[in-house]
Chains A and B, each alone.
Chain A
Amino acid sequence: MSLKKIAPALAVTVAALLGHVAHAATLSVAATPVPHAELLEHVKPVLAKEGVELDIKVFTDYVQPNQQVADGHIDANFFQHQPYLDSFNKEHKTKLVTVGLVHVEPFGAYSQKVKDIADLKDGAQVAIPNDPSNGARALLLLQKQGLIKLKDPGDILATSRDVVDNPKKLKFRELEAATLPRVLADVDLALINTNYALEAGLNPVDNALFIEGADSPYANILVTTEAKKDDENVRKLVKALNSDDVKAFIKDKYKGAIVPAF
């Protein structure tokens, strides 16, 4: 086949490719494999219909996704929660911003003694994890339920010593996070990470008295740069991730292990 013969064919192909690019913009998103990349895969066909080609780049590291977005190599990322982003921005002097909340692995409060927090008696024993981030997360959830007040209401490293208002005089027991489901019978209330709860046969949606919701600071977020936060394609992705369809998908596929944060 001579070059002359294929030239027109090549021209057509190039034109087609250019035309394709013109109306199907590519949006690259860095994500961790589960559930982030799975959720993105789920919305990929929806976005394709709207003319956005989603390019999912899977990472298993927590620094590169932010670094690549900050450097402009990738458009957005989806793997972290706000407290992590805040500390990353501070440490790396980046200005990444949150454009949408997607899901949360809800921290839940479980009890074998009471069915409702209103029934929690004075001096009740409350078990919380003993490590800094989970312990504080448990206290923040109790604060949100109006059971306690913390010295600094947004302190993501609070300990039981930072409780300033405790009307029910709750007694805190700080234990190893993994032990909490085992001692549930001994306390009035235990605040348990979803992974440990699920392994112990407790389901956050069905068994917890209350769980973190959309307002949880630990909701997983879609992040991009200041410059791209109003980008049309980024907006389309946020809209797709916050759709009823994704809500149903999360409920169906993860069965309470993660809940929608929108």
Chain B
Amino acid sequence: MNFSNIDWLLIGEATFDTLLMTGFSLLFTVLIGLPLGIILFLSGKGQMLHNPAVYQVLSFVVNVLRSVPFLILLIVMIPMTRVLAGTSLGVQGAIPPLVASAAPFFARLVENVLRELDPGVSEACRAMGANSRQTVLMALLPEATTGIVAAVIVTAIALVGYSAMSGVIGGGGLGDLALRFGYQRYQTDVMIVTVAILVVMVQILQVFGDRWVAKLNRK
């Protein structure tokens, strides 16, 4: 294989764009998805703040956002993205749709992690007179930390994948490069290098995440 088509500066830029997109999207995804997941859990059946109306509405919104194909979300969100990010283009323009797509996904993961916890924990807290806020902050979240960290890693990896599609709105990044040069212009070398970097990126995320989870488990 001849790597003559490779413009390393371009690859570097694209790698940086992918990291920016994934990093910022992950930050906002956690900021929005974590509370959303906790509310979903608490308002669910048999939980402390059981409220069918709230649960049904949130659950529906989450399902809707999760069922819209990301490519379509990217396009239908353009007017909203413009308001939120100031532009619908580039890395900035890719972040709102990435968050809109990943936050509901992450919220579901958080809800599931909390549901898996031993119900005895919150019952004990309640018995000791803790209110729901105290129960969540003092007992549930610390108990669920490892599960939530694992969910963050799963979401981060999903975001790396989604960010590849942002080329549609000029988002840049490695996926865009692979598509434009590797696929459309038959520059197989560009395809191989970009995909290899993505594989390495995902591996690092997973290995790092697993270690973090293991460390938390030992405590």
Chain A residues within an 8 Å CB radius of B180: 130-131, 174
Does B2 touch A at the CB level, under 8 Å? no
* Residues 34-88 (chain B) with a chain A CB within 8 angstroms: 75, 78, 82, 87-88
Evaluate contact between A183 and B184: CB separation under 8 angstroms: no
Q: Give the CA-CA distance A185 to B93 in the complex, in Å.
A: 13
Chain B residues within an 8 Å CB radius of A127: 89, 170
Q: Give the CA-CA distance A202 to B31 in the complex, in Å.
A: 40
Does A154 touch B at the CB level, under 8 Å? no
Chain A residues within an 8 Å CB radius of B185: 132, 157, 159
User: Between A and B, how many residue pairs show CB distances below 8 Å?
Assistant: 50
Evaluate contact between A183 and B167: CB separation under 8 angstroms: no
Does A41 touch B at the CB level, under 8 Å? no
Q: Give the CA-CA distance A179 to B75 in the complex, in Å.
A: 8
Chain A residues within an 8 Å CB radius of B179: 130
Evaluate contact between A186 and B168: CB separation under 8 angstroms: no
Does A44 touch B at the CB level, under 8 Å? no
* Given A132-B185, A176-B167, A176-B168, 12 other A-B residues pairs in contact with their CB atoms under 8 A: A132-B184, A173-B170, A175-B168, A182-B75, A182-B78, A183-B78, A183-B169, A183-B170, A185-B82, A185-B88, A186-B82, A186-B93
Of all A-B residue pairs in the complex, the 6 with the closest CB atoms, nearest first, are A173-B170, A176-B168, A175-B170, A186-B87, A186-B89, A186-B88
* Residues 117-148 (chain A) with a chain B CB within 8 angstroms: 125, 127, 130-132
Evaluate contact between B75 and A173: CB separation under 8 angstroms: no
Considering the complex, give the chain B residue whose CB is closest to the CB of A157. Answer: B185
Q: Give the CA-CA distance A157 to B184 in the complex, in Å.
A: 11
Considering the complex, give the chain B residue whose CB is closest to the CB of A182. Answer: B78
Per-residue CB contact flags for chain B residues 1-43 toward chain A (1 = under 8 Å, else 0) read 0000001001000000000000000000000000000000000
Q: Contacting B184 at CB < 8 Å: which of A131, A175, A179?
A: A131
CB distance from A151 to the nearest CB of B (A): 14
Per-residue CB contact flags for chain B residues 164-184 toward chain A (1 = under 8 Å, else 0) read 000111100000100110001
Does A4 touch B at the CB level, under 8 Å? no
Q: Contacting A187 at CB < 8 Å: which of B10, B89, B167, B176?
A: B89
Does B90 touch A at the CB level, under 8 Å? yes
CB distance from A132 to the nearest CB of B (A): 5
Evaluate contact between A161 and B89: CB separation under 8 angstroms: no
Chain B residues within an 8 Å CB radius of A159: 185
Q: How many residues of A contact B (CB 8 A)?
A: 18
CB distance from A250 to the nearest CB of B (A): 32
Q: Give the CA-CA distance A31 to B176 in the complex, in Å.
A: 37
Q: A179-B75, A183-B78 are in contact. Are A173 and B89 (CB under 8 A)?
A: yes
Chain A residues within an 8 Å CB radius of B184: 130-132
CB distance from B30 to the nearest CB of A (A): 27
Q: Give the CA-CA distance A173 to B166 in the complex, in Å.
A: 12
CB distance from B86 to the nearest CB of A (A): 9
- Greatest chain A CB density within 10 A among B90, B93, B169, B179 is at B169
Q: Give the CA-CA distance A187 to B82 in the complex, in Å.
A: 12
Q: Give the CA-CA distance A130 to B169 in the complex, in Å.
A: 10
CB distance from A251 to the nearest CB of B (A): 33
Considering the complex, give the chain A residue whose CB is closest to the CB of B81. Answer: A186
Q: Give the CA-CA distance A171 to B133 in the complex, in Å.
A: 50
Q: Give the CA-CA distance A103 to B49 in the complex, in Å.
A: 69
CB distance from A66 to the nearest CB of B (A): 24
* Residues 45-100 (chain A) with a chain B CB within 8 angstroms: none
Q: A127-B170, A132-B185 are in contact. Are A183 and B88 (CB under 8 A)?
A: yes
Q: A132-B184, A132-B185, A186-B89 are in contact. Are A179 and B82 (CB under 8 A)?
A: no
Q: Give the CA-CA distance A185 to B170 in the complex, in Å.
A: 14
Evaluate contact between A183 and B89: CB separation under 8 angstroms: yes
Q: Give the CA-CA distance A181 to B21 in the complex, in Å.
A: 24
Q: Give the CA-CA distance A56 to B169 in the complex, in Å.
A: 43
Q: Give the CA-CA distance A131 to B179 in the complex, in Å.
A: 9
Q: Give the CA-CA distance A130 to B175 in the complex, in Å.
A: 13
Chain B residues within an 8 Å CB radius of A185: 82, 88
CB distance from B177 to the nearest CB of A (A): 10
Q: Give the CA-CA distance A183 to B87 in the complex, in Å.
A: 9
CB distance from B73 to the nearest CB of A (A): 13
Chain B residues within an 8 Å CB radius of A186: 82, 87-89, 93
CB distance from B178 to the nearest CB of A (A): 12
Q: Give the CA-CA distance A175 to B78 in the complex, in Å.
A: 13
Q: Give the CA-CA distance A187 to B89 in the complex, in Å.
A: 9
